[in-house]
Structures are given as structure tokens and as C-alpha cells.
Amino acid sequence: MVKGDRLEKELCISEAAIQERVQVLAKKISSDYEGEEPVLIGVLNGAVFFFADLMRAIRIPTKMDFVRAISYGSQMESSGSVRLTKDVEIPIAGKPVILVEDIVDSGLTLSYLKEVFEQRGASSLKICALIDKLERKEKDVFVDYCGFQIQEGFLVGYGLDCNEEYRYFPEIYRLK
Ligand code: IMP
Ligand code: MG
């Protein structure tokens, strides 16, 4: 069986384009945070590959931690409510935090996470997302470091899943 061979899909972002963009974001973060040691907080599971590539490309010291936030059931639509099912372990009060997310869709997840970490006293809080999907915004979330803006569609690959499948592609596809 070939990976994803039964899937009706079209290429949306190539592996080379992703890797090139990761380098650009990492360079910007490295210069913006020079002299600091930001805590990168990855949003599981979708952000894992982006997180790993980004952190290794950043040229200043950083720390890593992860949260898991549930906003989607098994459907392709947001349920409208967000909760944490895994929390960070590093204390973040007084520290610069960068939330690292795979994709911003309705904006509900990141606006919730932003509020949580602001309340916990992060000294600064920025958002880095590989993809900002524009079609379904409910909450305005400013993405400080954005990889790609995409108008619409449901995307899989490079960590993004559809019902826990297809995370394994090194590139990103749009489902047909
Ligand atoms: P939001 O709370 O609506 O912004 O949704 C954020 C979460 O929904 C992301 O972290 C993804 O896990 C998931 N999501 C949204 N759009 C897509 C997509 O096109 N493909 C895969 N997952 C998606
Ligand atoms: Mg996610």
C-alpha cells in the first residue's frame, strides 16, 4: 500500500516551499528575540513537524513545551469550544512565549491559548503559525509569524490530519 493512495488530493504547498519558509521565519524570530530565550509552545499534534523544523532553524537558545487543545471533534468543522487536554510543564510567568501552531482556521484555539498564557503572566506572547486559513475566521487572531496565507480548503500533510490520517506527508495537500 502506498501512503495516501486512495486520497483525492491536490498539492498545495511543496516540501521545498515549506522548508524555505521555515528558514525565513526562524531567521526573523532569531533576530527579534536576540539576547532572550523564548519558550516555544507547540500545539499538539498538528504542529510537531513544523515545531521541530522551526526550533532547529532558530539560531538563538529556546526552550520547548507543548499543549494539546481540543476544538475539533472528528468532523472538519470547529465545535466552537476549546479546552486543554495537556498543559505545559515549564513555568512561563515572566518569560517570552511563542505559540507554535500548524494552522489557524476559525481562530478559536489560538485566541483561547493566547488568553490562557497572558493570564499566566508571560512577559510577551507571539503567535507563529505555518498556515493562516482565511475563509472561516470567527475570532481575529494576529499571527506574528505566518508561513502561508491560504484562502480555503481542508489541508492534510506535514502534521495536518483528517481524522488522524495523512499527517505523514512531507508536503501539504488540499483534499478534493
Ligand atoms: P481553529 O480553532 O478553528 O482556528 O482551528 C484550529 C485547529 O483546527 C488546528 O490546530 C487544526 O488542528 C484544525 N484544522 C483547521 N483547519 C484544518 C485543516 O485544513 N486541516 C487540518 N486541520 C485543520
Ligand atoms: Mg492543531
Residues 6+ apart with CB under 8 A from 172: 11, 12, 13, 18, 131, 155, 156, 157, 158, 160
Residue 33 CA: distances (Å) to CA of 16, 51, 64, 97, 132? 26, 17, 15, 11, 22
Question: How do residues 30-75 score in pLDDT, each as one tens digit?
Answer: 999 999 999 999 999 999 999 999 999 999 999 999 999 987 554 5
**pLDDT confidence of 7, banded at 50, 70, 90?**
confident
- Yes or no: domain 9-170 corresponds to CATH 3.40.50.2020: yes
pTM score: 0.94
Domain boundaries, given as residue ranges, for the chain: 9-170
d(CA 7, CA 119): 42
What is residue 3's predicted lDDT score, i.e. its pLDDT? 82
Summary mean pLDDT of the chain? 93
CA–centroid distance, residue 42 to ligand 2 (Å) = 9
Ligand 1 atom closest to Cα of residue 108: 2
Catalytic status, residue 144: no
| Element spanning 75, H or E | none
- DSSP-derived pairing of the beta strands 145-150 and 124-133: parallel
